[in-house]
Amino acid sequence: MLEKFLISIGLKQPESVEEVMSTQQTTVRPSGENRFIDDENIGDIRVHSPKDEVEIKALRSFSEIHNLGIAIKDEFIVAMDIRDIPDQQERRRILDFVTGMAFMSNSTIRSINRDGVFLILPSNSSLSSTERERLQDLGLYKINV
């Protein structure tokens, strides 16, 4: 897992081209689509035009964190949703790991929903009001609740 993380943040080169090809499988879906369409693609929700909108990553376990790391490395604004993880220790583990990724990529991380949604912002970006409204409509952005 550490090797995949190092590769995803660019600190290590993959040993083969097949390894790179196998890790870059993402799904593009329209923003109006249900976020839990099926179990296979649960963490691969991309609803952004590059670097302008928030990429939403809904995690159900620590093993799904690799796709989140790629989005952070590529400097996308990412909303990490860990509300579906019942185990508090696993939530803490994910949050600690993502905090480290955010630090290494010079991004900031903040809670946008007390139930377990976090926003990771690259240093050169900000959340627009239209994106904030879109996240509120999706039930992700709830600071004062």
Q: Where are the domains of the chain?
A: 27-137
Q: Which residues of 21-53 are buried (b: 16+ CB within 10 A; e: fewer)?
A: eebeeeeeeeeeeebeeeeeebbbbbbbeeeeb
Query: Averaged over 118-139, what is the pLDDT?
Result: 89
User: CB atoms < 10 A from the CB of 55, how many?
Assistant: 24
Supply the pLDDT for residue 122: 92
In this model, does residue 82 exceed pLDDT 50?
yes
Query: Averaged over 43-72, what is the pLDDT?
Result: 76
Supply the pLDDT for residue 117: 93
Query: Averaged over 66-75, what is the pLDDT?
Result: 88
* pTM reported for the whole predicted model: 0.63
In this model, does residue 80 exceed pLDDT 50?
yes
Q: What percent of the chain has pLDDT over 90?
A: 33
Supply the pLDDT for residue 25: 46
Q: Where are the alpha helices (DSSP H) in 10-128?
A: 17-23, 65-73, 88-104
Supply the pLDDT for residue 44: 54
Domain range 27-137, its CATH number among 3.55.50.30, 3.30.300.30, 3.90.1860.10, 3.30.110.150: 3.30.110.150
Instruction: Categorize the per-residue pLDDT at 8 as very low, low, confident or very high, splitting at 50, 70 and 90.
Output: confident
Supply the pLDDT for residue 7: 76
The mean pLDDT of the chain is 77
Query: Averaged over 116-140, what is the pLDDT?
Result: 89
In this model, does residue 92 exceed pLDDT 90?
yes
